[in-house]
Amino acid sequence: MTPTDVFAPAKINLTLHITGQRDDGYHLLDSLVVFAPVGDVLRLVPAAELSLSLEGPEAAGLPADGDNLALRAAAMVGDGQGAAIALEKLLPVASGIGGGSADAAATARAMLAAAGALDEGGLARAGTALLALGADVPMCLASRPVRVRGIGERLEPVNLPPLPAVLVNPRVPVSTPRIFRSLTARDNPPMPEPLPEFPDAEVLIAWLKDMRNDMEPAASALEPMIGVVLGELAALPGCRLARMSGSGATCFGLFATMADAGAAAAALRVARPDWWIAEGLLGDQQARAMPRLG
Ligand code: C5P
């Protein structure tokens, strides 16, 4: 293995419909997922054994031991390879945008690449195994726009126009299981099948307005700051849609242009200097090999 830098992009649920619950308690989803140009950065250097060091503004409080998902992913797919992994944590933890799952998936990609196994078969085996680390890991392995069903293991690539966006986290960590437990409805309608064509961002945003994040009401009730974020995003000039990602607390605002998104992010940084705020085009990744899970 040569030293490798890998990017672990934030995942954003443009929609998140909760359509049922399995006998084991896991919830069935129907979600349109894209990735952002902001994320964590990992450097893997050849070493005799696996190890992990943490740095970056969001690293505080994160385990660097065997509980860390990046380390667990490396052990699961690494086939005995050692690596010194340096994780630069730039995404807020427990925030609905992938975080640990994104780190696990990026580490797995790097380990597979080092083993010459970053192909459809390698990704498929890794995705199936790594689902045990978190339901978001397979979609993060894909790291391109996908429709996600099942509990997170059924992935279909989708073609979406890139969306100018502002991401905001008010720095309140949210427990995903707690939000799932407090849902009052678990059998909500899925998205249409098939999805319509989205020729441009305007058409996509208009369609997204009729879709939902079914975790948003429960999360806002448990963590009122989420409602504050959504209100402030929606009030920014040019914001076309404000919604929560995952189980929160990160929310996104969609804009017609990157100039509008940049101006909105700059204004919000002045008003809310303590919040984590990022802007960029969502869903702008080049097509990548898809992990087809068995
Ligand atoms: O998979 P992940 O570790 O992110 O999920 C955390 C918890 O959220 C799970 O242990 C489960 O309680 C809940 N969950 C769920 N349905 C999903 C994904 C997660 O109920 N599809």
Residue with tokens 């690539």: 157
Which amino acid is it at 270? V
Fold exhibited by the domain 163-282: Alpha-Beta Plaits (3.30.70)
* Burial call 36-61: b when 16+ CB within 10 Å, e when fewer: bbbbbbbbbeeeeebebebeeebbee
Q: Is the minimum distance from the CB of 96 to ligand 1 under 6 angstroms?
A: no
284 is catalytic: no
Residue 190 corresponds to which tokens in the numbers above? 């899925």
Is residue 24 part of the annotated active site? The answer reads no
Find the angle CA(153)-CA(214)-CA(233) to the nearest 5 degrees. 110
pLDDT of residue 204: 98
End-to-end CA distance of the chain: 28
Distance 127 CA to ligand 1 centre (A): 16
Annotated binding-site ranges for ATP: 92-102
Ligand 1 atom closest to residue 27's alpha carbon, by position in its atom list: 16
Residue 240: per-residue pLDDT: 98
30 conformational bin, left if phi > 0, alpha if psi -120 to 50, beta if neither: beta
Distance CA 40, CA 92 (A): 10
The full set of domain ranges for the chain reads 4-157, 163-282
Quick one: CATH architecture of 4-157?
Answer: 2-Layer Sandwich (3.30)
Q: How do the pLDDT tens digits run along the chain, 294 residues long?
A: 678 899 999 999 999 999 999 999 999 999 999 999 999 999 999 999 999 999 999 999 898 898 999 999 999 999 899 999 999 999 999 999 999 999 999 999 999 988 888 888 899 899 999 999 999 999 999 999 999 999 999 999 999 999 999 999 999 999 999 999 999 999 999 999 999 999 999 999 999 999 999 999 999 999 999 999 999 999 999 999 999 999 999 999 999 999 999 999 999 999 999 999 999 999 987 545 555 543
Closest by CA to 10, choosing from 33, 47, 38, is 38
**pLDDT for residue 3:** 86
CA distance 85 to 62: 14
Q: What single-letter amino acid sits at 218?
A: A
Closest residue by Cα to atom 14, ligand 1, is 26
Cis before 196? omega within 30: no
Name which of 84, 92, 95 is nearest 40 in CA terms. 92
Mutate to test the pocket of ligand 1, among 19, 22, 27 (most ligand atoms within 8 A of CB): 27
Q: Please, what is the angle between helix 69-77 and helix 120-130, to 10°?
A: 130
Contact 265, 277 (CB under 8 A): yes
pLDDT at 61: 82
What is the per-residue pLDDT for 1? 67
Q: Is the CB of 154 under 6 A from ligand 1?
A: no
In short, whether 27's Cβ falls inside 6 Å of ligand 1 is yes
pTM, to two decimals: 0.95
Ligand 1 atom at shortest distance from the alpha carbon of 176: 8
By alpha-carbon position, which residue is closest to atom 10 of ligand 1? 177
